[in-house]
Amino acid sequence: MAKFTVIGGDASSDLAKRIARKLKSPYIKTEKKIFPDGESKITINQIPKKSIVIVVQSTNPPVDSNLLELLSIVSKVQKFSSKVYAVIPYMGYARQDREFLGGEIITIGVVGKLLKAAGVKKILTVDIHSKLALKELKIPSENVSAMEVLVKHFKKMKMKDPLVVSPDLGGKERAERFSNLLKTDFIALRKHRDRKTGKVNILSGKVDVKNRDLILVDDMVSTGGSIVKATQFLKKQKCRRVFVACTHALLVNDATKKIKNAGVTQIISTNTIPGESAKVDVSRVISDALR
């Protein structure tokens, strides 16, 4: 088996340690100092030679700071190793994968150029928002799924006649797969999001969810606007409890409070982004892919 060294960035230090343990590899921590003007200085104390160096860093908020930290670490360690892999559990900018409105920049492509220039030879990410974003990186990349470990968590929960729900038609395939693994059925709601204002509306008519526990499944939850609208709609249809299952819980701008106020019982996410909802560990999924 290849010899690895794992380095954890500030955004993913706990997950990086877990991955290192699974790989039975040395773990090196980084130190970060923030100056009064907002600049950060990263220090790496030790880098073993003759190994594949795996840098683990999600690019969740603050997105640009975490991305710059990842680039800085990679640029340093590539001086010691010819093979530097970037494990980016949550890949920021993956929603900017095409020009939706005239003049928009495909930022995920810019991120790919920066990573390549810094010295990244391979990228591994978890449940990236779009396959198109993966192609735009223009670096050998692998996307792994956290769905099986999320479903495993829900199988341990006592639920009444569970139904998997996608908050939009775009997530229909994800919800179907989740429901197949959970051995239950699913539905997908129809929604409309204004590209300029971001406002979300549910377009679906009446759905039969009465007295059922529901699992709203999505790859990521950011502001929670879609989840709030879907929950409010489903609660009017007399469902029982509503749970949210997602890989990446960004939960910005009081999203947790808004989601709970809408009637969600619990948000369950993975530790691609650390936080209160991060109940499901993806270190095994990542380490298996690296082997």
Q: Which residues of 27-44 are buried (b: 16+ CB within 10 A; e: fewer)?
A: bbbbeeeeeeeeeeebeb
Contact 112, 88 (CB under 8 A): no
Q: Which residue blocks in the chain are alpha helix, DSSP H?
A: 13-23, 63-77, 107-118, 131-136, 147-155, 172-182, 225-236, 255-262, 283-290
Look at residue 58 and give its three-state secondary structure: coil
Contact partners, residue 137, CB within 8 Å, separation at least 6 = 108, 109, 111, 112, 115, 123
Q: Which of 22, 76, 121, 191 is catalytic?
A: 191
**Secondary-structure percent of the chain, ordered helix, strand, coil, rounded to 5:** 35, 25, 40
Among left, alpha and beta (phi > 0; psi -120 to 50; other), residue 201 is beta
Residue 76: active-site member: no
Contact 164, 184 (CB under 8 A): yes
Q: Please tell me the distance from the alpha carbon of residue 58 to that of residue 80, in angstroms, as a whole number.
A: 22
- Residues with catalytic roles: 191
